[in-house]
Amino acid sequence: MSSITDYIDFSQPSLQISALAIAFNPIFWNIVARQEYKNHFLTRIFGSPYYGCYFLAVVIFSIGILRDHLYLKALEDQPFYEPVHQPYIAYGLFATGNVLVISSMWALGVTGTYLGDYFGILMDAPVTGFPFNVTGSPMYWGSTLSFLGTALYYGKVAGLLLTLEVFVLYWFALQWEDPFTAEIYAKRERERAKASKRS
């Protein structure tokens, strides 16, 4: 009788490292962004909220590339399982995921994508067109679909487990981020309302 250990080799350090990298990224950018909002430490270091945001964007993008590399390395070290090997489904998921991620970056721009609102760089109005008319968090769910597509392409059960980790972490991140971001914009509207009354 087979067990989960027949399909996932938990002894592989690459699996553990990948799981840590997946967990680290959203925790890191949420902590850094909150500290920037409270203390403006990146703005002070770089002399501008825009330069601080650009710096954070480079860091987040770079650790995302590293995370993806570590994920692929983990899959290389894991057993192949034929029923999970679904390349045509993988192509569709990977393409859909990348469309969601790239189109959301295009719609938001650098500062909108990389937490510019925590730097005080606020958008004039919420983006409601594609892909935000499909999902409110296209970058997160597009990334999750890409992880899932990669797992199916390589036929690795471990990839499904790591994709589940991605999904859970992003879901928790949204419970943390969305109300905070909404409050940033609500605060701006309250300040605008006060200013208009004074004038």
DSSP-assigned letter for residue 78 = S
Determine if residue 96 is labeled as part of a ligand binding site. Answer: yes
Determine if residue 177 is labeled as part of a ligand binding site. Answer: yes
Given the structure tokens 């487990």, which residue do they identify? 161
Q: What's the token pair of residue 11?
A: 């002894």
Q: What's the token pair of residue 185?
A: 């914009």
Is residue 130 within 8 A of residue 103, CB to CB? The reply is: yes
Determine if residue 173 is labeled as part of a ligand binding site. Answer: no
Closest CA to 31 of 59, 68, 67, 66: 59
Determine if residue 178 is labeled as part of a ligand binding site. Answer: yes
Closest CA to 72 of 1, 21, 110, 138: 21
Determine if residue 117 is labeled as part of a ligand binding site. Answer: no
Q: Which residue ranges make up the annotated binding site for S-adenosyl-L-methionine?
A: 95-97, 177-178
Q: Which residue ranges make up the annotated binding site?
A: 95-97, 177-178
